[in-house]
Amino acid sequence: MFKGKKKRSGRFDSFNQNIQRFGRTLLLPIAVMAPVGMIAGITGALVQAYMIEKFPFLGNEVVNTIFTSLRSIALTVFDNIPLLFAMGVSYGMSKKDKGISVFASVLGYLVLISSMNIWLKVTGNLAPADALSQNGQVMVLGIQTMNISALGGIIAGLVASWATDKFYNLELPISLAFFSGKKSVSIITMGIMILIGITLPFVWSVFVSAFTNLSVILLSWAGPFFTAAGERLFIPFGLHHIWNALFRYTEAGGTYVMNGETFVGVVPALNELLFNLGPGSPEWSQLSSLTRFMAQQQMLCTIFAFPAIALAMYKTAYKENKPITKSLLLTCVLTAFLGNVTEPLEFTFVFVAPLLYIVYAIIIGIGAVALSLAQVGIGYIRGTIFDFAIFGLLYEGTNWVSFLLIGSVLAVVTYFIFKWAILRFNLRTPGREEEPSMDNVLVREKRYDEIAAIVVEALGGKSNIKNVDNCITRLRIDLEEVNVIDSDLLKKSGCSGIFIPAPKHIHIVFGPMVEFVRNAVDDHLEKIGKLS
């Protein structure tokens, strides 16, 4: 009986870690889309007729050609979002050979859309060219196929990564030896994707129905509360990317008709509205119904809530700790304000005051509803001050004044709630530790080699570390045993948070410089291996 429970627990832990890994694989394509979206947003705004009317030099043929050309280049990225997800997911999920996994994912995605194209032809469901969107179909890379959007790329990426890890070292008989090993991965991936491509249309209607039922909730007046508060609550577990992708790229986020064409999910519709149609189109009236699920929710955190939380923490810090606390909190606020990276500040209180973190999520959710009811229409994917300037101030009809008013009220409420809670419950937020706060001097001075040495030692040495990975802000490390972790030593590395989401997995928060820390850890482990 005990062994059975232990085995089931082990399977659950493995599943949980795979979900964690999958969530962070979504970051790679999203990280590309965000800056490209800013370029598309700027150029899209500057070629609008109302902007040219305000600033006549924008109508200059050379200037206009430059901006329209940049916009066209940026839109090419958005036209191939599924392919980006295929490559990103395969790269992130594969453990053995990421290069062959990415190669196989591209082939797999091409086979998938081609297989669905054949299914549409054979079954007589191929829609005429002027009625693609009405029939749930789309042109992708010159192939008319079913419009499954980013999900198709995700499926291809998952299959390719699985095939890579399973068959990258496959041995075949001598007569077939040429197709052994890594060559077999692409062949197996393509075979599986053919089967998926000819069977997916039969089950797709079930998925569409399920997502459509979920959209009834998300598209109601309370929808922004669930999406905004849900994202904050999923962040400590690293699952917020999956939550966001659900309504951004599937029927759960609704279907929208733009200029006679149907778009599935919030992001594809917003791409069309912001970067193609513009404020002069009748569809511009749908702007706030789309942006209410997007960056304006993030902006409530990065522009208003975070400065308020940091101020409350600074005001309640012990006097002798205030200089160091000020430096730490200012860094956290600027990281979010300029880069949309929120974990460093959120991780300063999520573990010491989980109930306060839930209150914080609720506040953001209520603020998101208020923005929606006020018909604020600001932003794209990221919620930085730059996004506010581009998508709020440069575009017409965004109602940015209401955004500032609602955000200011939210900031004041957040400040007083946090200050009261910290003092009332004596929370150990930055600057209120029993011992003086430690300055993260190692991170600030970019002494990554020293940080890596501390991390490896604190985690029990090379023998206890199974796999090292990272997302935008955290090291994500698989361990043989977590009981050997020296938390006190680990804190000396300059990290801003430690979280163990699974029995043999740890997250260590370093903020936006985490990739350099991860590289240093890899180098340090390799150095130890050579010496041993």
Place 435 in a pLDDT band, splitting at 50, 70 and 90. Answer: very low
* Structure tokens belonging to residue 532: 């041993």
Q: Is the pLDDT of residue 396 over 90?
A: no
Residue 438 pLDDT grade (very low, low, confident, very high; cuts 50, 70, 90): very low
Which is nearest to 290 in space by CA: 262, 248, 232? 248
More reliable by pLDDT, 298 or 28: 298
Q: Which CATH architecture has domain 441-531?
A: 2-Layer Sandwich (3.30)
Q: Which two tokens stand for residue 286?
A: 């749908």
pLDDT digit string (tens) for 133-148?
Answer: 656 678 888 899 887 7
Residue 172 structure tokens: 């075949």
Residue 495 annotated to the active site: no
Helix (H, G, I), strand (E, B) or coil at 425: coil
- Report whether pLDDT(163) > 60: yes
Q: What pLDDT, on the 0 to 100 scale, is given for residue 351?
A: 66
Average pLDDT over residues 104-129: 92
Neighbours of 213 (CB within 10 A): 11
- The pLDDT of residue 8 is 52
- Residue 443 confidence (pLDDT): 76
Query: What number is the average pLDDT over the span 104-131?
Result: 90
Residue (of 132, 22, 26, 20) closest to 82 by Cα position: 26
Is residue 109's pLDDT more than 70?
A: yes
Most confident of 29-33, 60-64, 327-331: 60-64
Q: Give the confidence band of 305 by pLDDT, cuts at 50, 70, 90.
A: very high
Name the token pair of 258: 């733009």
pLDDT score, position 368: 95
Higher pLDDT, 320 or 227: 227
Mean pLDDT, to the nearest integer, of 382-398? 85
Is residue 434 predicted with pLDDT exceeding 60? no
The domains of the chain are located at 80-214, 225-240+271-424, 441-531
Task: Flag the least confident range among 216-230, 243-257, 477-491.
Answer: 243-257
What predicted TM-score, i.e. pTM, was given to this entire model? 0.61
Return left, alpha or beta for 483; rule: phi > 0 is left, psi -120 to 50 is alpha, else beta. alpha
Predicted local confidence at residue 31, as pLDDT: 64
Q: Model confidence at 2, in pLDDT bands (50, 70, 90)? A: very low
The one catalytic residue in 301, 332, 471, 495 is 471
Task: Please give the C-alpha separations between residue 131 and each of 137, 189, 273, in angstroms, as whole numbers.
Answer: 8, 32, 20
More confident residue, 518 or 384: 518
- Over residues 176-183, the mean pLDDT reads 78
Residue 239: per-residue pLDDT: 63
Q: What is the pLDDT of residue 97?
A: 85
Out of 34-38, 140-144, 233-237, least confident range: 34-38
Residue 73 has, within 13 A of its CA and on its CB side, a CA count of 11
The answer on pLDDT for 224 being more than 90 is yes
pLDDT band at 376 (very low <50, low <70, confident <90, very high): very high
Residue with the bigger pLDDT between 428 and 194: it is 194
**437: confidence class by pLDDT, cuts 50, 70, 90:** very low
**pLDDT, mean over the chain:** 83
Residues 6+ apart with CB under 8 A from 429: 313, 316, 317, 348, 349, 352, 353, 422
Query: Which carries the bigger pLDDT value, residue 231 or residue 250?
Result: 231
Tens digits of per-residue pLDDT, 40-86? 777 877 887 767 877 889 889 999 999 989 888 887 887 787 898 89
- The answer to whether residue 38 scores a pLDDT higher than 70 is no
What's the confidence (pLDDT) of residue 310? 93
